Amino acid sequence: MTTVTFQIGPNPPPRLDKALGRDVPPEAALSRSRLAKLITDGAVCVNSAVITDPRFRITEGAQVSVTVAMAEESHILGQNIPLDVVFEDDDLIVVNKPAGMVVHPAPGTPDGTLVNALIHHCGESLSGVGGQRRPGIVHRIDKETSGLLVAAKTDRAHHHLADQFAAHTVERRYLALCYGVPDANDPRLRGIKGTSFEAGNILRIQTFLGRHKTDRQRQAVSFTAGRHAVTRARILTALGAPACAALIECWLETGRTHQIRVHMAHCGHALIGDPVYGGRRKLSAKAVGDAGVAAVAGFSRQALHAATLGFEHPVTGENLSFEAALPADMRGLLRALGGEG
């Protein structure tokens, strides 16, 4: 057990939970949701009296003590799995996840995940998220998508990062290889519902996304139900002669399951290698050569990489931005299609 003591500052919010969220010392690493639970659990005293009502009206100068149990060990075991750590401090860690790694344990994948690796790597530096010694996962990327992901090491950092993702203020940019070239000069694209072009030949796709009606493992585009989703994409390099594929940059206004994969397939530019949404398309040997055709046929995952991640540090307020270069398999595919990998 540890006890955090502090005094309520001037002009506090009237509710106890909001006042604690404002004035609790940053080093306590307690989020608003964690403090709310501690109040209802009877772990908060105001002027030596236990208060269990989050709506309790608190005043300036009140003496507060919060008793916090030591974080319990997670039921998820740490595993010594190599990690490509891009950045790490006391509050968070940014990693470059390889393709093939699941982010969080789930039925069918009980171990060997990024969370297992993070628990081992971070060890005692995990102060606890929600009362458990585990990393706080605030976003995920698909198993076969490579690239950047941030995880919180404290409860407070987890809450702050989650707020940024919910507010869509986090910068996330992806590199992808797709079939065809999503160009504004293509009249077919302008006829697809939900697609439009912005200045600079930027493709904008806006739909709802939800579970597929018959295949629960897939997501599907809808215009009547589901969750609002907006994806933007621009061409970086047209590939082939004549052009029949492209290296594109995609960025998200929202972050939905499989969003880029579903949206690019919806507009007829599915990602190369995507086993779920990519179909069985083939490129012409006349356009990309036999090596290009073979490279596409042998690429066994969606050609998607989370290349840029930017957010505000949850404690210092510093704006952080990280980049991860294309992994070797995507560089090889790009070269085979005539690009510079």
Which residues are part of the catalytic machinery? Answer: 142
Q: Dump the DSSP string for 83-118.
A: --EEEE-SSEEEEEEPTT--SS-BTTB-SSSHHHHH
Furthest C-alpha separation in the chain: 81
Pairing of strands 146-152, 304-312: parallel
Token code pair at residue 91: 């509050």
What are the helix (H) ranges across 201-281?
259-266
Q: How far is 293 from 14, CA to CA, in rounded Å? A: 66
Phi-psi region of 317 (alpha: psi -120 to 50; beta: other; left: phi over 0): left
Q: Which residue type does 75 have? A: H
What are the helix (H) ranges across the chain?
16-23, 32-40, 114-122, 155-166, 187-190, 259-266, 285-298, 328-336
b (16+ CB within 10 A) / e for 109-126: eeeebbbbbbbebbeeeb
Angle at the Cα of 164 from the Cα atoms of 229 and 265, rounded to 5 degrees: 25
> Nearest CA to 82 among 50, 114, 129?
114
Q: 């270069």: which residue's tokens?
A: 325
